[in-house]
Structure 1
């Protein structure tokens, strides 16, 4: 660890090789037998070591210091899990159903993605879309406003919607994948 503190990457690699498997086993046992969570915690722990090697005191032994950090990370995970459970219990007591909350969050994520996509459009197309679907202005009036044939307005709106549908489908798939 002393060599790691002075920037020796080989020394860090040696520490990783020596302790990563043992730490994963420790995290796996401590964190609900979740293998991917254990991997994440190993990664986070070694990231902390790389980011702040100066926290290691040279008069201390490395292994106890390392496992003390791991233990503290587990304690923080327990506190977080305990808080989440308490929060969910409070919601249940208030009669709030989780699917409603999940749906609301999902809709907020979708709306955010749509607004991001709209921001990427040029000003005329963004304005055309918002005037049609937010302000309910008829296509005939939009054609007059933009000095375009009605067919062109319809075509542009079609392509904008097609693009947005693709974005929302990708987002829905990510949301559904995250909920599994």
Structure 2
């Protein structure tokens, strides 16, 4: 804490090395947060850099009314909001569109196989696909709802901190969180076959069957607390278990990060958000 305070004091005086030390403390978390919003690695790198530059440029305006990390996340969120506000929100069936595209496009199938076989982050893990799915479904929310729920349920910011980041009252943040969770729970309950046998989406197990053919699906699924609890816990509890699982994953540095990024790009291509997949 003393070192952090000293670095903050020096940073406020314009010491960029001290500022770099402060920024580095939460940069991995900031990048993963931006990736969950942007779903694009290059855009994430760009906005992380822009956040660093803008925060250092505006360091004299930091008055200590919030934590330094919260202040930087506010800058990053504003940049992401400006970047995303004109883009269309996703529909709940975006993953279905991606599946149809992948099944009908040989080069995409080859990309999946190549990534799985050659990348040291190309493994397929069901829990990481649950993380991917959480991101996709969160993009069906309004942008402010998505920001609020990711900050609260994945990065554990308080409602007060989220209010500072969004420039809203705590009452508004509470309302955003209520609506966001309600929508997420409804979509997961209707679509996710992991918690509803009649759910429309079976991607987790389908992909596991392709990329982990020697793995017993049921054994792997039963390692996931959410799945084990699906028949006895209320929907709200299942959502929280899902969020806890997602919070433990870094989508940029996990064992399956490259595989899930290809799946994400396929989804974005299917909904016409990008024109090609970059490998």
- The higher relative CO (CA closer than 8 Å, separation ≥ 6) is in 2
TM range (shorter): 0.3 to 0.5
Which TM-score applies when normalising by structure 2?
Answer: 0.28
Which TM-score applies when normalising by structure 1?
Answer: 0.42
